[in-house]
Amino acid sequence: MRCVWLADETDTAGWRREARALLRAGVSPHEVSWGVAGALGDAPAAGPLRACEPSPGLFDAAPPSDDEVPAGTPAAVPAPRVPASFLTLADSALLHRDAGRFALLYRLLWRLQREPGLRGDPLDADWLAAQALAQAVHRDQHKMRAFVRFHERPTPEGPQYVAWFEPEHHTLASQAGFFQRRFARMRWAIFTPDTSIAWDGHRLHHGGPDRREEIPTDDATQALWLTYYASIFNPARLKLATMAQHMPRKYWHNLPEARLIAPLAAAAAQRAEAMVKRPGTVPHRRRAVCVEPAHPSRGVMPAASADPLAALAIVHAHIQACTACAHGRQATQAVAGEGAPGAALMLVGEQPGDQEDLQGRAFVGPAGQLLDRALAEAGIAREAVYLTNAVKHFGFTLRGTRRLHKTPGQQEVLACSRWLEEEIALVQPTRLLALGATAARALLGVTVSVSASRGGPPRRRPQDGREVHVTWHPAALLRMPPDERERAWARWVADLRTAASESSVAR
Ligand code: URA
């Protein structure tokens, strides 16, 4: 019995080299036992491999090279003929977890030299078995491309995007090129129970197994992905069986969005019905404001309340679908809040502006940039707070092609209050900071001035008793004359700092 040891489970080059040498030496398949060096202590392959195990010198028992054929072997056969289609098939099939794959493929190779009709025999058992292995590997590779989910992990060199995946076969290294091309500018790593690969922006590194616990599960990237997933979920097109076919359940435990499926499915019929009843939208035509009653205490998604991140993503999807007031029917899209549940401080603005409406993110226009500067000066990380608005759609009047900001009225604030209350209930901030009078009124239910919070912040009664710090809206600072703005700036930053320190927000 000839024992052949490959360097590792994916040593396809080693298999090719050894198979070619064995073939040239005329060693028949039943005389060869294949194994993987690293797997010796784990699960040895069944069958003849056992006979090879005891010798400590096994690793040295390399098969003969092309030039050196050991004595006693049958007469050498002519140079092997290997069809290209076999090599392609073998490259995939060799990545299967089946311990018998090396022997199967060598047997096929051996038979290809001797059975001229084998290549065209679609029913040959060895061909079929090898094809089944290759197909399973292709499926696994496809699933890896589709179901790897990266999470953001802070490192001293900047964020690294890490993912945990459990491939069925030895497919990780074969997909490195795909992820490298796709995410060339990111620093990323994919960990599996067997091996890992990491890209540092310049080079790929292959490593050993890692632990699933190393992957963060509550990062901002995941929150954004859940929000996106919930917002593209179409309740009118729900087909759970088809969904499970494309996204097999065995992958669900590593897919953050899987936990949204049950609550989204549960709410689908109700949402689809509301979609059907809703009047069609006519762009840029003013309509009468219709205000839905606010139900802050009811909660839109009680089934998801055990998981605030998932519930928040679903609330965001509901916000996206809301047309309870004229703004909702006029704007490009709704702009929900941004940040993670548990953020100690929630900043509430008035309504999205032109840029926010186009980009779908709160505070990204000129006012947002000023706020970013103030947050930085106050030592507050934007990612550590939850940023939202009292009204979720951009309200404007058209002046030619220009969209001029229109301050939301009490009706819009009321229509959106259910969403703001949902966000507060799910994020559970210890402090609220109202940016401007609209936000203060939305949070407190009464009109208050910026100076109201100076003698101690008012509390939200009868809602939840939370303290509401009140300060200027960034647009108010933008409108101030330069010297006034300079004086107000220091006070504004101090207000942010006070709210943050009282809420113990992470800096
Ligand atoms: N003004 C706001 O109140 N909110 C935004 O998101 C942007 C500008």
Q: Average pLDDT in the 11-32 region?
A: 95
Quick check: CB of 412 below 6 Å from ligand 1?
no
- The per-residue pLDDT for 310 is 81
Q: Average pLDDT in the 243-262 region?
A: 89
Distance (Å, rounded) from C-alpha 280 to C-alpha 38?
64
Least confident residue range of 27-31, 298-302, 307-311, 381-385: 298-302
- Choose one of 350, 375, 386, 441 to mutate for the ligand 1 pocket test, by most ligand atoms within 8 angstroms of C-beta: 350
Ligand 1 midpoint to CA 390 (Å)? 9
Ligand 1 midpoint to CA 296 (Å)? 22
* Percentages (nearest 5) of helix, strand, coil residues in the chain: 50, 10, 40
| Confidence category of residue 55, pLDDT binned at 50, 70, 90 | very low
Distance (Å, rounded) from C-alpha 335 to C-alpha 354?
11
Most confident of 72-76, 179-183, 225-229, 350-354: 350-354
| Closest by Cα among 392, 423, 420 to 329 | 392
- Choose one of 347, 473, 479 to mutate for the ligand 1 pocket test, by most ligand atoms within 8 angstroms of C-beta: 473
Distance (Å, rounded) from C-alpha 92 to C-alpha 104?
13
Quick check: CB of 353 below 6 Å from ligand 1?
yes
| Confidence category of residue 170, pLDDT binned at 50, 70, 90 | very high
- The per-residue pLDDT for 443 is 95
Write out pLDDT tens, residues 368-424: 999 999 999 999 999 899 999 999 999 999 888 788 999 999 999 999 999 999 999
Quick check: CB of 368 below 6 Å from ligand 1?
yes
Cα three-residue angle 48-172-90, rounded to 5 degrees? 50
| Confidence category of residue 301, pLDDT binned at 50, 70, 90 | very low
Least confident residue range of 13-22, 174-183, 274-283, 374-383: 274-283
| Confidence category of residue 142, pLDDT binned at 50, 70, 90 | very high
Quick check: CB of 256 below 6 Å from ligand 1?
no
- The per-residue pLDDT for 277 is 75
User: Between 505 and 192, where is the model more confident?
Assistant: 192
- The per-residue pLDDT for 64 is 43
| Closest by Cα among 360, 356, 361 to 382 | 361
pLDDT(115) > 50: yes
- Rg, the chain, Cα only: 32
- The per-residue pLDDT for 246 is 86
- The per-residue pLDDT for 46 is 39
- The per-residue pLDDT for 233 is 83
Q: What is the mean pLDDT of the chain?
A: 84
The answer to whether residues 69 and 76 touch, using CB atoms and an 8 Å cutoff, is yes
Render 417-468 in DSSP notation, one character per residue.
HHHHHHHHHHH--SEEEEESHHHHHHHHSS---GGGGTTS--B-TTTT--BE
Ligand 1 midpoint to CA 433 (Å)? 14
Residue with tokens 């689908």: 268
Distance (Å, rounded) from C-alpha 198 to C-alpha 180?
9
Give the percent of the chain with pLDDT over 70.
85
Quick check: CB of 348 below 6 Å from ligand 1?
no
Quick check: CB of 350 below 6 Å from ligand 1?
yes
Write out pLDDT tens, residues 190-237: 999 999 999 999 999 999 887 888 888 777 778 778 887 887 888 888
Quick check: CB of 505 below 6 Å from ligand 1?
no
Domains defined for the chain, CATH in brackets = 2-141 (no CATH), 148-214 (no CATH), 220-277 (no CATH), 296-502 (3.40.470.10)
| Closest by Cα among 99, 98, 22 to 62 | 22
- The per-residue pLDDT for 57 is 33
Quick check: CB of 352 below 6 Å from ligand 1?
yes
User: Between 92 and 289, where is the model more confident?
Assistant: 92
- The per-residue pLDDT for 67 is 44
Distances (CA, A) of 174 to 152, 171, 326, 400: 24, 5, 53, 56
Distance (Å, rounded) from C-alpha 354 to C-alpha 333?
11
- The per-residue pLDDT for 148 is 93
- Choose one of 356, 370, 396, 416 to mutate for the ligand 1 pocket test, by most ligand atoms within 8 angstroms of C-beta: 356
- The per-residue pLDDT for 370 is 94
Quick check: CB of 349 below 6 Å from ligand 1?
yes
Q: Average pLDDT in the 425-445 region?
A: 94
- The per-residue pLDDT for 239 is 87
pLDDT(245) > 50: yes
Quick check: CB of 328 below 6 Å from ligand 1?
no
Q: Average pLDDT in the 263-289 region?
A: 67
Residue with tokens 């497919």: 171
Ligand 1 midpoint to CA 362 (Å)? 6
Assessment of whether the complete model's pTM goes beyond 0.75: no
| Confidence category of residue 330, pLDDT binned at 50, 70, 90 | confident
pLDDT(288) > 60: no
